[in-house]
Amino acid sequence: EAGVAQSPRYKIIEKRQSVAFWCNPISGHATLYWYQQILGQGPKLLIQFQNNGVVDDSQLPKDRFSAERLKGVDSTLKIQPAKLEDSAVYLCASSFSRLMNTEAFFGQGTRLTVV
Amino acid sequence: GIQVEQSPPDLILQEGANSTLRCNFSDSVNNLQWFHQNPWGQLINLFYIPSGTKQNGRLSATTVATERYSLLYISSSQTTDSGVYFCAVVKRNSGYALNFGKGTSLLVTP
């Protein structure tokens, strides 16, 4: 079974530029999560989707971050404009169903450096 | 929100030693997972263990949900066990997503 796929693996951009990350979850997984992990900390939830609907985006900085999951499968996370403090690893995860408390699996992450 | 505390924050072991990592959480949970983050940043699933005990090779985990803690045991440690170990919990009426602790950083020396 294929795991969660993310791209790119690494990205370096200048502040005020825009960037986009892509995630393809495990086939059949209805729930998709985006997490931000700053160096030395645990991952922090940014946004959670159930199929193509947002169920929790309370911690997403909506003035600069946006995310979509239009067809209920793959998802993109965008930052525009980027700030230095956005330097982090962005992790995508999926689970069969959040309502059934099923196990979540993570992709390899995208390491973003903003200079 | 639910608080997740992991201890110790850092641990150095010699190869072959055993260790116990602890995860305390502030409220009842519906799901608990242990992960190993390798030096390349990948989060590897170790255990899905909202309650009870599980074993997988040299690793085992126990969650005592009524007392709000979980333990991860590593026996006969190897250098490849190095990395950061995270505990993460889900509380159903707090959004359903995993809430992570700060992790335990483990270094196993030859």
A24 lies within 8 A of chain B by CB: no
- Bridge partners (DSSP) listed for residue A90: A36, A110
Of B92, B98, B103, the CB nearest to A104: B98
For the stretch B6-58, pLDDT in tens is: 999 999 999 999 999 999 999 999 899 999 998 888 899 999 999 999 999 99
Residues of B in contact with A98 (CB under 8 A): 96-97
- The DSSP secondary-structure symbol of B40 reads T
Task: With a cut of 90, say whether residue A44 has pLDDT above it.
Answer: yes
Q: What is the pLDDT of residue A1?
A: 66
Q: Chain A: nearest CA to B25, how far in angstroms?
A: 15
pLDDT band at A72 (very low <50, low <70, confident <90, very high): confident
Contact predicate B4/B99, CB 8 Å: yes
- The DSSP secondary-structure symbol of A71 reads T
For the stretch B75-94, pLDDT in tens is: 999 999 999 999 999 987 76
Q: What is the pLDDT of residue A57?
A: 95
Cα radius of gyration rounded to whole Å, chain B = 13
How many other β-carbons are positioned within 10 Å of the β-carbon of residue A80? 13
3-state class (DSSP) for residue A66: strand
Query: Mutate which of B25, B38, B43 to test chain A, going by most A C-beta atoms within 10 A?
Result: B43
How many other β-carbons are positioned within 10 Å of the β-carbon of residue B81? 19
Query: Mutate which of A6, A44, A60, A101 to test chain B, going by most B C-beta atoms within 10 A?
Result: A101
